Amino acid sequence: MTDYAEFHRRSLQDRDAFWAEQAKLIDWHKPFEQVCDYSRPPFAKWFVGGETNLCHNAVDRHLATRADQNALIYVSTETNQERIYSYRELHAEVQRMAATLQSLGVKKGDRVLVYMPMVPEAAFAMLACTRIGALHSVVFGGFASVSLATRIDDAEPTVIVSADAGSRGGKVVPYKPLLDEAIRLADHKPQKVLMVDRGLVAFDRVEGRDEDYASWRECHFKTEVPCEWVEATHPSYTLYTSGTTGKPKGVQRDTGGYAVALAASMEKIYLCKPGETFFSTSDIGWVVGHSYIIYAPLLGGCATIMYEGLPIRPDAAVWWSLVEKYKVTSMFSAPTAVRVLKKQDPAALKKHDLSSLRALFLAGEPLDEPTATWIAEALGKPIIDNYWQTETGWPILSLCNGVEAAKSKFGSPGKAVYGYDVKLLDEHSGEELKGAGQKGVVAIEGPLPPGCMQTVWRDDKRFVNTYWSSVPSRLVYSTFDWGIRDEDGYFFILGRTDDVINVAGHRLGTREIEESISSHPKVAEVAVVGVADNLKGQVAMAFAVLKDPSVIATEADALKLEGEVMKLVDEQLGAVARPARVRFVATLPKTRSGKLLRRAIQAVCEARDPGDLTTIEDPTALQQIRDLITPAA
């Protein structure tokens, strides 16, 4: 086993040799001439001069050794379907989709917008794009028309691939009317719309524009489409960051660097070997779905599970039944999903044989210690947090147990991952903070490692201004997160730098207060936001979901529990961190991928427009908050 500290040091100080080694994990059509060109900071070019193809590395190269092995396992508890594709079958399906896209006019460098539910055809479309050198731009299925229109205008797709509908909790969500309205609103009109008809809902077709995928698939059933070899620096896709306002911000990813980074991460971070099964519970509309449902598992020669449905339907054991059935070795989910499971019957976690599972990885939001402890004890498996962003495409902070085994510290996503020169910087001076426990902005010295964003799509200036210009006198990439580091090098994320609460001159991270409140035995989940206050500038407002709502039968019960929670925060963080109010709600407003909509909560508390809520899971959650605070206004 390699010493991780030395491994990480080498990735920074002997960068080219280190990444040249990792590059052997994928196939190259033409060898690269230069590992990293950082002659124009902050723009980094990786594996310059090399030619490769993402689809070849994810699918074709495995045909010689594992053609009949499971590649894509599709499970929908919404439609009660399971379909398994071997690498040979996946290869055939991707070529059918690629031939269809080419027939509809898609060429190398063109964009294809994918507006799809979690169905195999979405994976085929993504892989088909990279096969022919086109860029896919996946927009989360069910996104509202106005938001979708802005992404159509930014990506300017030649073709849009969509479906009649998605389904969530047994409720059908029609996509076609949303898409038709988005195209009407958009200035850019796609040449064609390729429709996958799932038979969930009837829809209208636009003559001359809308095409039926089933017919084209039959037409190209035996068509062979060779991989288009592209420069390593050729863009593979764009993905719009969630929560952007105004003009959407398209994260542009390369091809060679992304393939190398993901291939390395499967063995070094996610502990999944060729021939094994990886299960990520995310959605292809988000970066985790791109990296760890589609590309990384297939690059690693693994089987990947694509799941459409809820973690508690038909029951709270559904995910664990899949772990048992398909002998999942590595599973990747989000803390929010674990908190949902925490409210269910704990017996669900013991119903199935989980002996194949090596670890549960969690990311997407901060993992609080009570949640981590609960799931670790319930599963009896290692719980490994990791921290990254849409922009980076793979983890910034984690434990690289495939390099050297390390112990998880609950509340921390771990140490800096190889390739990332992570620093904590003073927000005012830009000075590096090296002492344990010092709070600073989590920043990364350039160049960003392979796999990270190249730039903002068609907007280099915005890339520099947004990410590289916020720390005084230093050209560093800002994550816009606060963090501290302990004496062992483990980082702890304290929340967004732009989510800081300034109470009477005291700067408080929302995460610190949330962590304190969530340690109360009756609290299942909590969101804390800063709300404008005439006297103090801002005050903290907390909204908590209880494990057992029946403990509050009267207003007096609620006030008594609120007092207990405030006392707990006083004891743990001091009176300055005590929220002005702690309100108890049935559910918190979240996106369908599980991210808390803190800014929307804050807007409601301040009687402002909460903005675009097209991805909200339960619209009544915000109304609950509005109803609670209105009487006090």
**Is residue 274 a contact partner of residue 300, using CB atoms and an 8 Å limit?**
yes
31 and 145 in a single domain? The answer is: yes
Among 448, 481, 514, which residue terminates a domain? 481
398 and 545 in a single domain? The answer is: no
**Is residue 514 a contact partner of residue 526, using CB atoms and an 8 Å limit?**
yes
Rounded Cα–Cα distance for residues 270 and 281 (Å): 14
The pLDDT tens digits of the residues spanning 370-393 come to: 889 999 999 999 999 999 999 999
Domain count across the chain: 2
Rounded Cα–Cα distance for residues 529 and 245 (Å): 19
Residue 349 lies in a domain: no
Residue 150 lies in a domain: yes
| Average of per-residue pLDDT across 541-569 | 95
Residue 339 lies in a domain: no
Q: Which two tokens stand for residue 8?
A: 């990480």
Name the amino acid, one letter, at 486: D
Residue 378 lies in a domain: no
523 and 471 in a single domain? The answer is: no
156 and 230 in a single domain? The answer is: yes
Residue 95 lies in a domain: yes
Among 442, 466, 481, which residue terminates a domain? 481
Residue 77 lies in a domain: yes
Name the amino acid, one letter, at 244: T
417 and 516 in a single domain? The answer is: no
Rounded Cα–Cα distance for residues 492 and 412 (Å): 5
- Residue 592 structural domain: 504-632
Is residue 610 over pLDDT 60?
Answer: yes
Residue labelled with tokens 């007096």: 556
465 and 555 in a single domain? The answer is: no
Is residue 215 over pLDDT 70?
Answer: yes
Rounded Cα–Cα distance for residues 391 and 442 (Å): 14
DSSP character at residue 112:
E
**Is residue 160 a contact partner of residue 179, using CB atoms and an 8 Å limit?**
yes
Mean pLDDT of the chain: 93
For residue 321, how many other CB atoms are within 10 A of its CB? 17
Rounded Cα–Cα distance for residues 410 and 375 (Å): 11
Residue 499 lies in a domain: no
Percent of the chain having pLDDT more than 90? 79
pTM of the predicted structure, to 2 decimals:
0.87
The pLDDT tens digits of the residues spanning 561-605 come to: 999 999 998 887 777 789 999 999 999 998 877 778 888 899 899
The pLDDT tens digits of the residues spanning 133-179 come to: 999 999 988 777 888 999 999 999 999 999 999 999 999 999 999 99
473 and 601 in a single domain? The answer is: no
Rounded Cα–Cα distance for residues 585 and 525 (Å): 10
For residue 564, how many other CB atoms are within 10 A of its CB? 14
Mapping DSSP onto H, E and C, the string for 385-452 reads ECECCCCCCCCCEECCCCCCCCCCCCCCCEEECCCCEEEEECCCCCCECCCCCCCEEEEEECCCCCCC
Q: What are the residues whose beta carbons fall under 8 Å from the beta carbon of 237, sequence distance 6 or more?
A: 126, 129, 130, 135, 136, 137, 138, 252, 253, 290
Q: How far is CA 480 from CA 424, 459, 470, 596, 610, in A?
A: 11, 20, 9, 17, 21
pLDDT grade, residue 631 (50/70/90)? low
Residue 262: which H helix or E strand, with range? Answer: helix 256-268
CATH of the domain at 205: 3.40.50.12780
Is residue 298 over pLDDT 60?
Answer: yes
pLDDT in the model for residue 244? 35
588 and 459 in a single domain? The answer is: no
The radius of gyration computed from the CA coordinates of the chain, to the nearest angstrom, equals: 24
Residue labelled with tokens 């009407």: 184
CA 478 to chain centre: 18
Q: Which of 110, 230, 202 is nearest to 161 (CA)?
A: 110
Q: Which of 516, 520, 514, 537 is nearest to 588 (CA)?
A: 514
pLDDT in the model for residue 121? 98
Rounded Cα–Cα distance for residues 60 and 56 (Å): 5
Helix, strand, or coil (residue 564): helix
536 and 618 in a single domain? The answer is: yes
594 and 451 in a single domain? The answer is: no
User: C-alpha dihedral over 243, 244, 250, 255, to 10 degrees?
Assistant: -30
pLDDT in the model for residue 243? 39
What are 172's strand-pairing partners? Answer: 167
**Backbone phi and psi for residue 112, each to the nearest 5 degrees, phi listed first:** -125, 120
476 and 508 in a single domain? The answer is: no
Q: Which of 155, 162, 207, 99 is nearest to 459 (CA)?
A: 155
CA 111 to chain centre: 21
Helices (H), 436-497: 460-467
Rounded Cα–Cα distance for residues 451 and 66 (Å): 26
Q: How far is CA 379 from CA 337, 338, 348, 360, 371, in A?
A: 14, 11, 10, 9, 12
pLDDT in the model for residue 444? 98
CA 507 to chain centre: 28
Rounded Cα–Cα distance for residues 600 and 590 (Å): 10
CATH of the domain at 537: 3.30.300.30
The pLDDT tens digits of the residues spanning 502-529 come to: 776 666 778 878 988 999 999 999 999 9
445 and 517 in a single domain? The answer is: no
Residue 110 lies in a domain: yes
